[in-house]
Copies of this chain bind each other. A is one copy, B any other.
C-alpha cells in the first residue's frame, strides 16, 4: 500500500478530471429548469463516495433537492467526523461576463474555472479524495460521515428537519465544513464565530390620511418626525445599542480573543479609503475587527415615508416605515432581542404615534472557543500544509445552518476553508486555486490523522 500523499499525487489528473465532470453538471438549485441536473449531481456524488470506498451511501429525497449520506465507521474508539457541504450552485447570470462557459470547466493560470469550483463542489471534493486516499492507504484513522445537501444556495429549507430526524445517525465528535476562505493567499484562518440575525419591519401611523402642511403644519403629529425621533433612540452617543437588555448574552472579549483578532491586522485607513468612508465609526472601545466580528449591531436597512419625488410637496405624511436587522453574538437569543427591540420602540414612540411591528428572520449566533482541541488540531494541520499556523477569526455574517448543526448535533463545528475571497463566488468566472486544492488535500489528510491520534471526546 502506498501513502495517502503518494496516492493523491499519483491520481491527481484523474481526480481533477472527475471534479471537472461533476462541475459540468449545472446543479442550479434555485432554477426549476435545472431540477433534473441537480438530481444528477446528487447521483454523481453518491457514486463518487461509493468509488472512494465509503459505505451506506444514500440519496435521500426531500421536498426539494436530495440529501446525500455516506459513512465509513471502522475506527472503534476513535473520533467520528461529520463532513457537511453542498453540491448545488448559484445561477450563472450574467452569462456574457464569463470568459469560458460556467459548466465547461477549464484550467487557466493554475486556477480551475467553473460555477461551483470554489463554492462548494471543489472544496467538498477535497474531503472525498482525502478519504479515498486514506482508505486506499488503509489508514483512515477516524470514523467518517458525509451529509451533503443540494439546497444551500436556497437557504437549506429541508436540512434542519433532516438533522433533527437523523440526529443519531449523524452523531459525531466534530463537524467539518469547507465552504469558506483563507484570509488571503498563504494565510489560513478558521472562523470561530458567525453572528446571528433577527429582523423586523416597523410601520408608524399618525393620521388617517396625509395632511396639508399649510392647513395643519404645527398642529398635528407628523409620522416622519415621530419616526426619526423614535429611531434616534436606538443608539446612544457611544455607538451602543440603547435597547434595554440588548447586550444580554454577549460575552466580554477576553485579552486572548482580542489578541487573536488583532492578528488580522486590518489597515483601517486603507479600508476607509476603499469603502469611501469619511470615518470608521462604531461602539466606543472596540477595533473595527471586534466591532464587526465579535460585537452585536442594530442597523437600519431602510427608512421611508412621505414624498420622494422631484421638487416640493407640502405634505404631512400619515405613516412612515423602517426595516431593522440585528446581528447577534454569543448567547443572544434572537426572539428575545426582537421582543426587546419591539418593547423599546413601543416605549419610546411619541404621543400620537401608533406602531405596527412585523417580526422577520431569526437565527442564533455561532461561536466556538478557539482553545477547543479540534480547532487547535485544525490549526496544526493547516500549519503542516501551509507552513503557517491558521489564525482564528470571527465573521460578522450569518450562516444559519452552522448554528443549526452545532445545536442539533451538539458537536464543535470546524469551519476549515480553502477558497479565497477573490474567487468570484456567486459571480462570473468563479474559480478555485489549484495550489489550495493540493494544500487543502494535505491539510485534510493531516487533520484526520491528527484527530485519529486522539481519543474521542
A→B interface (CB under 8 Å): 195, 197, 199, 206-209, 211-222, 224-225, 227-229, 231-232, 234-235, 275-283, 288, 291-292, 295-297, 299-308, 311-318, 320-321, 323, 325, 327, 350-354, 360-361, 395-398
Contact = CB atoms under 8 A, between A and B. Distances in A.
Given A300-B306, A312-B323, A282 B218 contact: yes
Nearest to A295: B218
A282 B316 CA distance: 13
A48 B209 CA distance: 43
Interface centre among A292, A300, A314, A350 (most CB of B within 10 A): A300
B351 A279 contact: yes
Copies of this chain held together in the complex: 2
Contact of A215 (B209, B222, B224, B396): B396
Contact of A217 (B211, B227, B299, B320): B299
Contact of A323 (B228, B292, B307, B320): B307
Contact of A219 (B212, B217, B282): B282
Given A214-B397, A222-B300, A299-B213, A306 B277 contact: no
A361 to B, nearest CB: 6
Contacts of A220: 275, 277, 280-282
Given A227-B228, A228-B227, A231-B228, A301 B218 contact: no
Contacts of A305: 302-304
B312 A199 contact: yes
A329 to B, nearest CB: 10
Given A225-B235, A303-B303, A323-B307, A280 B219 contact: yes
A234 B227 CA distance: 13
Closest CB pairs A-B (n = 6):
A208-B276, A214-B397, A218-B297, A232-B232, A302-B306, A279-B352
A282 B225 CA distance: 12
A215 to B, nearest CB: 6
Contacts of A232: 228-229, 231-232
Contact of A352 (B277, B302, B353, B395): B277
30 contacts: A195-B214, A206-B277, A207-B277, A208-B276, A209-B276, A213-B299, A215-B396, A216-B275, A217-B396, A218-B327, A218-B396, A219-B281, A219-B396, A220-B280, A220-B281, A221-B278, A228-B303, A231-B232, A232-B232, A277-B352, A278-B351, A279-B351, A281-B350, A301-B316, A302-B306, A304-B308, A306-B323, A307-B323, A308-B321, A313-B323
A213 B327 contact: yes
Given A217-B325, A218-B297, A220-B277, 4 more contacts: A199-B312, A215-B397, A280-B352, A306-B323
A225 B213 CA distance: 26
Contacts of A275: 207-209, 211, 216, 220
B217 A297 contact: yes
B301 A361 contact: no
A405 to B, nearest CB: 19
Contacts of A212: 397
A352 B216 CA distance: 35
Contacts of A278: 206, 221, 351-354
B317 A302 contact: yes
B306 A301 contact: yes
A283 B218 contact: yes
Given A299-B316, A314-B325, A288 B214 contact: no
Contacts of A291: 218-219
Contact of A297 (B199, B213, B311): B213
